[in-house]
């Protein structure tokens, strides 16, 4: 009896040093996604060593981190960002790698476009020089982030040297309440197991609350597996998975489709498969989540208050909490719903897909952002998401409500382009990291779901989406 | 990669948990397309009062004198003591590059984030896991003793204090072998090129839609 992770692992072992399952194995990589920030040094070393990419058609490249989200007809004005994007273009052109260039309609955040194109398929190993590669695990594949030396290793050999992780099952049973989203499940899990809780594990999310999620929701959840410390998160294949993939440009068709789909249906943990650790959550008890500190585990519920470090017994933890509150400019015991905000960011590989934009638009519809909101940004995950949203009229809903509607990219998730917080500014963000300075030096990030972010923009402070009369 | 052998180095304590890669090397420096030069921006936001951008002259910056690595006693440091979950966050290898470029050869912590841990080995920076009680003692000693040095012996897998107290650490045999001999992993993998090709052929037959 095998777990999904066992099946995926076993399918890809090219070579293993010894019979000991914990020894180093050479793992075959089916899909290699590449972006501009973590690849230039890998391409350079590859060239210096006189090597060539092993299998070009396994690679899909896109620039996302540095691209402007405003008018792109003028190119990128920051010369350093421009050089990085140009370097990717050059490397891809020179080697013959498929790349969606900045003005291609298909351009977008690497973790949005892989699935959108059908370049991410069940049963694959998917890697990218980016920790949120865990996102792709939503499709029943083994997907994880790698460093630049590993990017080079995969380019040169189509393989990676790695040790098998331990396995964890996180099962979420029951029905989510109205207004509670996949993002809230993710944050609730991190609140439960901590940001290091998944270290050394590959996590499988299961249970009927997970099966009830759309692919977008599953991607949000797997995206945040890395914030729980796990390199990989995954969800078993079911009809939802297969329906999503059907007809996408890189997906198989015709007779191959039938063969593929039949195989994909075997990609689930067998009944009775044993996990190294199991965690259970009751979906009905999950409330909208808001982070209050500088780590995703510093999270609480909308109806709660900022925790008091004085009540923490562990010295290191207390000290970290105090430091986080100082950075965030928050007082212990302040009700979360009384925290007012300056900016709102709806986007990132966590929450920039069509369903996320729909959820936010539903809250914003017919309303207007509060007077104290200096900027509310909506940044679709890809050109295709943007187009779809425009066809549905979501852009008009957002614009009428005072939001800015932007071009796709990472944007204020990590503020490598011009979109950023100023020191001291407080942001309700649908991204995945609230680290110090993540959205701009001195910026203060609160992680929330898309509906919660939109609701905060309208109210000017955090509010419980469950209590809105939309 | 440079070979790793026994060495004795000055120790600095970084007394905070969950130090993330954004803190180790802030994103504005990731725009570089080079592998070197990140050391001057290691821990940039903690280390300087002013905001750092690529291309700034470090001599013109305003160092924060309270930041641990800015204290004169830690000049020339090679070993970093850290707390739990060091290196969490992004996969950026720029974080180990920055630590190495600054002069670090070893990081000792009770736990590391997976991707960071992995990345360190690729460049010959050694992450060592010791238990919390051992670390508590090392932290105390490093803080109270100026010029505190530790000896790291990879062959023996030990960290030894000036009083000859030794702590043993675990390391995967393959990784140890690569570090001790300064081996190029790509070259090692390519020794299996035939096996990889065969694997690919079989895979192509079984799951042609992947190719
Ligand atoms: S959206 Fe944010 S987390 Fe996702 S890939 Fe871009 S920078 Fe990384």
For the segment A441-462, what is each residue's pLDDT rounded down to a tens digit?
999 999 999 999 999 999 999 9
What average pLDDT does the structure give for chain B?
95
Using left for φ > 0, alpha for ψ between -120 and 50, and beta otherwise, residue A105 falls in alpha
Residue A345 to residue A358: CA distance in whole angstroms: 15
Q: How far apart are CA A127 and CA A131, in angstroms?
A: 9
Is B16–A323 a contact, with Cβ atoms under 8 angstroms apart? yes
Q: What is the pLDDT of residue A470?
A: 53
Looking at residue A262, what is its pLDDT?
A: 98
For residue B183, count CB atoms less than 10 angstroms from its CB and return exposed for 0-12, middle for 13-18, buried for 19 or more: middle
Q: How far is the CA of A416 from the centre of ligand 1 (A)?
A: 10
Residues 375-404, chain A, touching B (beta carbon < 8 A): none
Does A55 touch chain B if contact means CB atoms closer than 8 Å? yes
Ligand 1 neighbour A130 (Cβ under 6 A): yes
**Which pairing describes strands B7-13 and B149-153: parallel, antiparallel, or unpaired?**
antiparallel
Residues A128-145 pLDDT 10s: 999 999 999 999 999 999
Separation of alpha carbons A173 and A464, rounded Å = 23
Residue A415 has pLDDT above 90, yes or no: no
pLDDT of res. A125: 98
Written in H, E and C, the secondary structure of chain A is CCCHHHHHHHHHEEEECCCCCCCCEEEECCEEEECCCCCHHHHHHHHHCCCCCCCHHHEEEECCCCCCCCCCCCCCCCHHHHHHHHHHHHHHHHHCCEEECCCCCCCECHHHHHHHHCCCCCCCEEEECCHHHHHHHHHCCEEEECCHHHHHHHHHHCEEEECCCEEEEEEEECCCCCCCCHHHHHHHHHHHHCCCCCCCEEEEEECHHHHCCCHHHHHHHHHHHHHHCCCEEECCCCHHHHHHHCCCCCCCCHHHHHHHHHHHCCCCCCCCCCCCEEEEEEHHHCCCEEECCCCCCCEEECCCECCCHHHCCCHHHHHHHHHHHHHHCCCCCCEHHHCECCEEEECCCCCCCHHHHHHHHHHHCCCCCCCCCCEEEECCCEHHHHHHHHHCCHHHHHHHCCCEECCCCCHHHCCCCCCCCCCCCEEEECCCCCCCCCCCCCCEEEECCHHHHHHHHHHCECCCHHHCCC
Question: What strand order describes the sheet that includes A404-405?
Answer: A404-405, A375-378, A343-346, A426-429, A444-447
Q: How far is CA A165 from the centre of its chain?
A: 21
Distance A378 CA to ligand 1 centre (A): 15
Convert A142-176 to b/e letters by CB count within 10 Å (16 or more is b): bbbbbbbbbbbbbbbbbbbbbbbbbbbbbbbeeeb
Cα of A130 vs centre of ligand 1, distance in Å, is: 8
Confidence label for B195 from pLDDT (cuts 50, 70 and 90):
very high
Residues of B in contact with A124 (CB under 8 A): 210
Residue B86 and residue B111 in contact, taking contact as beta carbons nearer than 8 Å: yes
Contact A407, A69 (CB under 8 A): yes
Using the Cβ of A150 and the Cβ atoms of chain B, whether some distance falls under 8 Å is answered with yes
In a domain, B97, yes or no: yes
Amino acid A21: pLDDT: 75
List chain A residues with CB under 8 Å of B204. Answer: none
**Residue B65: inside a domain, yes or no?**
yes
Q: Taking CA atoms, what residue in A is nearest to B189?
A: A157
Residue A188's pLDDT is 98
Chain B: closest CA distance from residue A302 (Å): 24
Give the Å distance between the CA of B63 and the centre of ligand 1.
Answer: 30
Closest Cα to atom 2, ligand 1: which residue? A413
Q: CB distance A44–B114 less than 8 Å? A: no
At residue A288, φ and ψ (nearest 5 deg) are: -55, 135
CB contact under 8 A, A416 and B27: yes
In a domain, B161, yes or no: yes
Q: Which domain holds residue B66?
A: 6-210
Q: Looking at the partner chain, which of A87, A145, A200 has a beta carbon nearest the beta carbon of B91?
A: A145
Q: Are B122 and A149 in contact (CB < 8 Å)?
A: yes
Q: Which residues of B touch A23 (CB under 8 A)?
A: 174
Q: How far apart are CA B138 and CA A411, in angstroms?
A: 41
Supply the pLDDT for residue A22: 77
Test the B interface: residue of A68, A196, A411 with most B CBs within 10 Å: A196
Q: What tens digit of pLDDT does each residue of A96-112 get?
A: 999 999 999 999 999 99
Tokens for A329?
């400019």
Contact between A428 and A452 (Cβ < 8 Å): yes
Residues A4-30: what's their mean pLDDT? 92
Token reading at B104? 């670090």
Beta bridge partners of residue A279, listed in sequence order: A170
Please indicate if any CB of chain B lies within 8 Å of the CB of A87: yes
Residue A73: predicted pLDDT: 85
Mean pLDDT along residues B122-140: 96
Work out the pLDDT band at B184, boundaries 50, 70, 90: confident
Ligand 1 neighbour A131 (Cβ under 6 A): no
Instruction: Report if residue B1 sits inside a domain.
Output: no
Burial of B138 (C-beta count, 10 Å sphere; 0-12/13-18/19+): buried
- How many domains is chain B built from? 1
- A21 in B contact zone (CB under 8 Å): no
CA distances from A371 to A343, A461, A463 (A): 11, 11, 16
Q: What is the C-alpha to C-alpha distance for residues A77 and A80, in angstroms, rounded to an integer?
A: 9
Supply A151's token pair.
Answer: 């990017």
Q: Give how far B33 is from chain A: nearest CA, Å.
A: 5
- Distance between CA atoms of residues B121 and B96, nearest Å: 9
| A residues 293-332 lying closer than 8 A (beta carbon) to B | 295, 316-317, 319-320, 323
Q: In which band, very low, low, confident or very high, does the pLDDT at A280 lie, cut at 50, 70 and 90?
A: very high
Q: Give the CA distances from residue A177 to residues A184, A215, A288, A362, in Å, rounded to whole numbers and listed in that order.
A: 11, 19, 9, 17
Phi, psi dihedrals of residue A171, rounded to the nearest 5°: -110, 135
CA A278/CA B164 separation, integer angstroms: 42
Q: How far is the CA of B183 from the centre of ligand 1 (A)?
A: 32
Q: Is pLDDT at A345 greater than 60 in this prediction?
A: yes
Residue B55 belongs to some domain of the structure: yes
CA distance A395 to chain B (A): 30
A260 touches chain B (CB under 8 A): yes
Q: Give the Cα-Cα-Cα angle B85, B90, B94 (nearest 5 degrees).
A: 100
> Which of B52, B53, B114 is the best mutation test for A, with the most CBs of A within 10 A?
B114
Which of A417, A431, A439, A440 should be mutated for ligand 1, with most atoms under 8 A from CB? Answer: A431
Looking at per-residue confidence, does A167 or A23 come out higher?
A167
Would you say A34 and A84 are in contact if contact means Cβ atoms under 8 Å apart? no
Question: How far B180 CA lies from chain A's nearest CA (Å)?
Answer: 17
Is the sign of the CA dihedral B190, B192, B197, B200 positive or negative? negative
pLDDT tens digits, A48-83? 999 999 999 999 999 999 999 998 888 898 899 999
Mean pLDDT lowest for which of A72-86, A176-190, B11-25, B191-205?
A72-86
Residue B111 lies in a domain: yes
Over range A380-395, report the average pLDDT. 98
Please report residues of A whose CB lies closer than 8 A to that of B91. 38, 129-131, 133, 145-147
CA distances from B172 to A162, A320, B124, B125, B131 (A): 11, 32, 14, 14, 17
Q: How far is the CA of A413 from the centre of ligand 1 (A)?
A: 6
Q: How confident is the model at residue A416 (pLDDT cuts 50, 70, 90)?
A: confident
**Binding site membership of A290 for ligand 1 (Cβ less than 6 Å):** no
Q: C-alpha B99: how far from its chain's center?
A: 6
**Which residues share a beta bridge with A26?**
A15, A161
Q: Using the atom order of ligand 1, give the atom closest to the CA of residue A433.
A: 3
Nearest to B183, CA basis, from B137, B100, B121: B121
B116 within a domain of the structure (yes/no): yes
- A-chain residues near B68 (CB < 8 A): none
CATH number for B60: 3.20.19.10
Mean pLDDT of A324-333: 98
List the structure tokens of A448. Answer: 């929330």
Residue A348 Cβ inside 6 Å of ligand 1? The answer reads yes
- Statement: residue B2 has pLDDT above 90: no
Nearest ligand 1 atom, CA A111: 5
In a domain, B179, yes or no: yes
User: Residue B186: its chain A contacts at CB < 8 A?
Assistant: 49, 51, 152-153, 156-157
The closest residue, in CA terms, to atom 1 on ligand 1 is A348
Which residues are CB-contacts of A27 (< 8 A; sequence separation ≥ 6)? A9, A12, A13, A14, A125, A159, A160, A161, A162
Q: Is A223 in the pocket of ligand 1 (CB under 6 A)?
A: no
- List the single residue in A144, A316, A415 with the smallest CB-CB distance to B17: A316
Q: Report d(CA A85, CA B137) in Å as an integer.
A: 47
What share of chain A has pLDDT > 70, as a percent? 100
Task: For residue A254, give the chain B residue with the closest CA.
Answer: B209
């Amino acid at each position: 009896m095998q777990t999904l992770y066992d099946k995926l692992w076993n399918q890809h072992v090219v070579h293993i040093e010894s019979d000991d399952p914990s020894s180093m194995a050479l793992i075959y990589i089916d899909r290699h996604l590449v972006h501009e920030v973590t690849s230039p040094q890998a391409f350079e070393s590859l060239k210096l060593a006189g090597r060539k990419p092993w299998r070009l058609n396994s690679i899909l490249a896109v620039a996302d981190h540095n691209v402007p989200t405003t008018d792109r007809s003028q190119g990128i004005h920051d010369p350093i960002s421009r050089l990085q994007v140009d370097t990717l273009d050059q490397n891809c052109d020179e080697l013959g790698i498929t790349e969606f260039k900045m003005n291609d309609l298909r351009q977008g955040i690497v973790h949005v476009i892989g699935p959108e194109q059908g370049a991410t398929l069940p049963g694959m190993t998917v890697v990218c020089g980016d920790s949120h590669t865990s996102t792709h695990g939503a499709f029943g594949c083994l997907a994880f982030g790698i460093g630049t030396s590993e990017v080079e290793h995969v380019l040169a050999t189509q393989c990676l040297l790695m040790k098998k992780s331990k396995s964890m099952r996180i099962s979420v049973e029951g029905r989510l309440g109205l207004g509670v989203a996949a993002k809230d499940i993710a944050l609730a899990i991190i609140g439960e197991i901590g940001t290091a809780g998944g270290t050394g594990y590959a996590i499988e999310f299961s249970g009927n609350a997970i099966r009830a999620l759309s692919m977008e929701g599953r991607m949000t959840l797997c995206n945040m597996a890395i914030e729980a410390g796990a390199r990989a998160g995954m969800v078993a294949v079911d009809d939802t998975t297969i329906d999503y993939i059907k007809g996408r440009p890189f997906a198989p068709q015709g007779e191959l489709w039938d063969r593929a789909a039949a195989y994909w249906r075997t990609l689930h943990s067998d009944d009775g498969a044993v996990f190294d650790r199991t965690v259970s959550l009751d979906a009905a008890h999950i409330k909208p989540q808001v982070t209050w500190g500088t780590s995703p585990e510093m999270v609480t519920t909308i109806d709660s208050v900022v925790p008091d470090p004085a009540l923490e017994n562990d010295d290191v933890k207390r000290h970290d909490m105090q430091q986080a509150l100082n950075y965030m400019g928050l007082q212990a015991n302040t009700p979360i719903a009384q925290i007012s905000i300056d900016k709102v960011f709806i986007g990132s590989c966590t929450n920039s897909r069509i369903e996320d934009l729909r959820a936010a638009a539903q809250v914003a519809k017919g309303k207007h952002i509060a007077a104290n909101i200096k900027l509310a940004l909506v940044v679709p995950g890809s050109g295709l998401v943007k187009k779809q949203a425009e066809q549905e009229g979501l852009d008009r809903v957002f614009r009428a409500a005072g939001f800015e509607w932007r071009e796709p990219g990472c944007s204020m998730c990590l503020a490598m382009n011009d979109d950023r917080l100023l020191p001291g500014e407080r942001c309700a963000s649908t991204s995945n990291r609230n680290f110090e300075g993540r959205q701009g030096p001195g910026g203060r990030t609160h992680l929330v779901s898309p509906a919660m972010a939109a609701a905060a923009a309208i109210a000017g402070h955090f509010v419980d989406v469950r209590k809105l009369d939309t | 990669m440079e070979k790793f052998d026994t060495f004795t180095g000055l120790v600095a304590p970084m007394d905070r948990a969950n130090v993330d890669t954004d803190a180790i090397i802030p994103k504005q420096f990731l725009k570089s397309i080079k592998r070197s030069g990140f050391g001057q921006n290691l821990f940039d936001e903690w280390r300087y009062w002013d905001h750092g951008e690529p291309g700034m002259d470090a001599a013109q910056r305003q160092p924060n004198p309270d930041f641990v690595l800015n204290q004169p006693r830690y000049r020339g440091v090679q070993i970093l003591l850290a707390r739990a979950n060091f290196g969490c966050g992004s996969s950026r290898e720029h974080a180990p590059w920055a630590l190495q470029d600054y002069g670090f050869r070893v990081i000792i912590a009770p736990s590391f984030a997976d991707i960071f841990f992995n990345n360190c080995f690729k460049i010959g920076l050694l992450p060592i896991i010791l238990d919390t009680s051992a670390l508590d003692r090392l932290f105390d000693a490093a803080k109270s003793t100026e010029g505190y040095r530790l000896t790291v012996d990879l062959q023996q897998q030990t960290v030894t204090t000036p009083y000859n107290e030794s702590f043993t650490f675990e390391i995967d045999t393959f990784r140890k072998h690569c570090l001790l001999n300064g081996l190029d992993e790509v070259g090692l993998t390519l020794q299996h090129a035939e096996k990889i090709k065969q694997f690919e052929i079989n895979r192509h037959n079984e799951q042609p839609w992947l190719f």
